[in-house]
């Protein structure tokens, strides 16, 4: 388990380096290095030897932690063994080709150039899901389990159904309000304010890095080497939001119980919980009116005078738009609901790849009331399907819901965070998250974790209560 954990860390290092440090012409070599790492990892993760060790341990008198290690190791081993190496290699090749074809098709706004790759990815995902699906389980369920083990497709359907109804009503309500203009903050000011804000909440040089990359992301090389990235290009508030978002991912990994380090349980448990941690810091801290005072002070200190209320208005402005990654907090989950509906239909054979652009247009009009002028601004905007990822999108919305549930519970336990946030004091939030969420690592799956932390299953109401005021403008 320690060896597999080290290999996973090396894979993360090689990917981080590629996106942040590597000179461009190193790409071919890096591809080889990553493929070799993946092959070695797969060999070890699926070895007969590992299965034998697990069988031997079954009879032993194990402590709680050891039992969890063996339980999850067996689950991972069995799932990994069900996928033939040839299929895994085909998937990985098709994903590389698909991403390349997607890039070109989006540039050219030409869906037909992407359709064959997408078709291939769908077929391979179906084959992959069939290998993994349990008795009477759907293919899509098996794909979802890769990202969020134990989250049920039926429950998602119900949850997203009521969520999209309620949100569409709020979108209607918001349509009347006028969104404030986004402040034009110079990149150097953004950078200074982001760095100062991160320092206030615990980001120091001894165990963190903050770098720039084309798309913000977080990497962790063990608990004491955490690396977040952001970008300062847009002239608006994106860097403030995204740096807090990435901080949430990073903090999760840093606060896993040290006893789990270099075991198979020593990382975040699922995509939804990870996203709930980033969304908690993005939505409930960075978008909190009291914390706007901290960020406005840092911006002002960096030479860009701005009123906290004005900053906060920009941070919570609602305006239905075509692009997911720049969507406001209220409409964001609707972008996800659409993707969930469409990928589910494609995997289940209810939607032909050639019908995707039309279904996308229909969905955007139904959910957001907008016309899609081109596929580049429609179904070609995200890389996920090009890379063969199906079952990943839901976690973006589920994360928003769980974040709101956790925040309500946290404020019930600790009292309103307003006074603390006004002073940039987040230690009680960090400690609460460590106890309720982070320390468990992979010992608890998504649903039991949420139930343990909040006392109820995943639900939409707390999120709806959180966004409702934004609709009023």
Q: Catalytic site residues? A: 246
Out of 1, 19, 30, 468, the residue judged to bind its own copies by CB under 8 A: 30
Measured from the Cβ of residue 343, the count of other Cβ atoms closer than 10 Å reads 24
Q: Minimum CB separation from its own copies for residue 30, in Å?
A: 7
Distance in angstroms (rounded) separating the CA atoms of residues 374 and 169: 26
Residues 104 and 383 sit within 8 Å (Cβ to Cβ): no
Binding region for its own copies (CB under 8 A) out of 34-42, 149-157, 230-238, 454-462 = 34-42
The footprint of its own copies on this chain (CB under 8 A) covers a number of residues equal to 36
Residues 6+ apart with CB under 8 A from 254: 207, 220, 223, 224, 226, 438
- Contact pick of 1, 7, 65, 383 for its own copies (by CB under 8 A): 7
Give the bridge partners for 309, in sequence order. Answer: none
**Of the ranges 13-21, 181-189, 376-384, 399-407, which one interacts with its own copies (CB under 8 A)?**
13-21
Binders of its own copies among residues 260 to 319 (CB under 8 A) are 262
Interaction between residue 205 and its own copies (CB under 8 A): yes
| CA angle centred on 123, ends 122 and 129, rounded to 5° | 85
Cβ count within 10 A of residue 438: 22
β-pairing verdict for 226-230 and 208-212: parallel
- From the list 209, 361, 384, 422, which residue makes contact with its own copies (rule: CB under 8 A)? 209
Going by C-beta distance under 8 Å and a sequence separation of 6 or more, which residues neighbour residue 168?
A: 334, 366, 367
Instruction: Give the CA count within 13 Å in the CB-facing half-sphere of 411.
Output: 17
Q: Is 451 helix (H, G, I), strand (E, B) or coil?
A: helix
Judged by CB under 8 A, the stretch of 3-11, 285-293, 359-367, 379-387 that binds its own copies is: 3-11
- Helix (H) / strand (E) containing 17: helix 2-20
224 binds its own copies (CB under 8 A): yes
Q: Does 23 bind its own copies (CB under 8 A)?
A: yes
Minimum CB separation of residue 256 from its own copies in Å reads: 13
The Cα 251–Cα 231 span in angstroms is 19
Binding of its own copies at residue 48 (CB under 8 A)? no
Q: Identify which range of 9-17, 83-91, 191-199, 315-323 contacts its own copies by CB under 8 A.
A: 9-17
Cβ proximity to its own copies, 178 vs 206, nearer residue: 206
Q: With respect to its own copies, which residue has the nearer C-beta, 34 or 113?
A: 34
Laid out side by side, the sheet with 226-230 consists of: 208-212, 226-230, 218-220
The CB-of-285 to its own copies minimum distance in angstroms stands at 23
Residue (of 47, 123, 33, 137) closest to 85 by Cα position: 47
Which residue, 310, 174, 170, is CA-closest to 237? 310
Stretch that binds its own copies, among 33-41, 72-80, 351-359, 446-454 (CB under 8 A): 33-41
> Applying CB under 8 A, does 29 fall inside the site for its own copies?
yes
Which of 1, 15, 19, 37 contacts its own copies by CB under 8 A? 37
For 375-419, give the DSSP string.
Answer: STTTTTS-STTTTT--S-THHHHHHHHHHHHHHHHHHHHH--SHH
Least Å from the CB of residue 59 to its own copies: 28
Nearer to its own copies, 11 or 123 (CB): 11
Return the residue of 140, 147, 208, 470 that touches its own copies, per CB under 8 A: 208
- Interhelix angle for 332-347 vs 111-132, to 10°? 70
Query: What's the CA gap between 407 and 429, in Å, rounded?
Result: 9
Residue 85 binding its own copies, by CB under 8 A: no
The four Cα atoms 457, 461, 463, 465 give a dihedral, to 10 degrees, of -150
Q: Which is nearer to its own copies, 41 or 166 (CB)?
A: 41
Question: Can you tell me the distance from the alpha carbon of 267 to that of 5, in angstroms, rounded to the nearest whole number?
Answer: 9
Please report how close the Cβ of residue 225 comes to its own copies at its closest, in angstroms: 3
Residue 6 found at the interface with its own copies (CB under 8 A) = yes
195 interacts with its own copies by CB under 8 A: no
State which of residues 1, 15, 19, 40 lies at the interface with its own copies (CB under 8 A): 40
**Does 212 contact its own copies by CB under 8 A?**
no
Question: What string marks each residue from 229 to 268 as x (binds its own copies by CB under 8 A) or -?
Answer: ---------------------------------x------
Asked whether position 38 contacts its own copies by CB under 8 A, the answer is no
User: Contact residues for its own copies (CB under 8 A)?
Assistant: 2-3, 6-7, 9-10, 13-14, 17, 21-26, 28-30, 32-33, 35-37, 39-40, 205-209, 221-225, 262
């Amino acid at each position: 388990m320690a060896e597999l954990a080290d290999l996973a860390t090396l894979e993360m290092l090689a990917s981080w380096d590629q996106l942040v440090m590597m000179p461009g012409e190193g790409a071919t070599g890096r591809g080889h290095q990553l493929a070799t790492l993946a092959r070695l990892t797969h060999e070890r993760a699926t070895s007969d030897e590992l299965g034998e060790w697990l069988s031997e341990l079954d009879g032993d008198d194990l402590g709680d932690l050891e039992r969890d290690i063996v339980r999850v190791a067996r689950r991972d081993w069995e799932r990994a063994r069900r996928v033939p190496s040839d299929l895994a290699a085909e998937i990985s090749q098709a994903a590389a080709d698909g991403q390349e074809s997607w890039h070109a098709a989006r540039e050219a706004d030409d869906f037909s150039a992407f359709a064959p790759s997408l078709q291939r990815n769908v077929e391979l995902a179906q084959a992959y899901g069939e290998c993994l699906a349990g008795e009477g389980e759907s293919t899509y369920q098996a794909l979802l389990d890769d990202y969020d083990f134990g989250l049920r497709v039926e429950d998602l359907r119900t949850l997203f159904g009521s969520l999209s109804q309620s949100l569409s009503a709020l979108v209607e309500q918001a349509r009347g309000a006028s969104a404030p203009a986004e402040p034009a903050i110079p990149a150097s000011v953004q950078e200074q304010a982001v760095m100062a804000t991160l320092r206030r909440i615990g980001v120091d040089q001894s165990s963190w890095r903050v770098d720039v990359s084309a798309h913000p992301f977080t990497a962790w090389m063990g608990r004491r080497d955490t690396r977040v990235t952001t970008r300062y290009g847009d002239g608006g508030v994106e860097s403030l939001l995204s740096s807090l978002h990435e901080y949430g991912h990073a903090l999760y990994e840093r606060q896993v119980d040290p006893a789990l380090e270099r075991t198979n349980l020593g990382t975040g448990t699922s995509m939804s919980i990870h996203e709930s941690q980033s969304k908690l810091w993005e939505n409930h801290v960075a978008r909190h009116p009291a914390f706007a005072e901290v960020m406005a002070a840092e911006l002002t200190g960096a030479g860009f005078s701005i009123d906290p209320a004005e900053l906060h208005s920009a941070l919570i402005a609602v305006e239905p738009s075509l692009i997911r990654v720049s969507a406001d907090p209220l409409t964001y989950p609707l972008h996800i609901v659409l993707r969930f509906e469409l990928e589910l239909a494609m995997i289940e054979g209810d939607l032909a790849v050639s019908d995707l652009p039309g279904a996308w247009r229909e969905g955007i009009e139904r959910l957001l009331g907008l016309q899609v002028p081109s596929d580049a601004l429609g179904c070609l905007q995200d890389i996920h399907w090009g890379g063969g990822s199906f079952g990943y999108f839901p976690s973006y919305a589920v994360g928003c819901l769980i974040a709101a549930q956790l925040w309500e519970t946290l404020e019930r336990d600790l009292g309103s965070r307003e006074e603390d946030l006004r002073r940039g004091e987040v230690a009680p939030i960090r400690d609460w998250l460590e106890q309720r969420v982070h320390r468990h690592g992979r010992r608890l799956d998504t649903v039991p974790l949420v139930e343990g932390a909040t006392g109820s299953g995943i639900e939409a109401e707390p999120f709806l209560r959180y966004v409702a005021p934004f609709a009023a403008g």
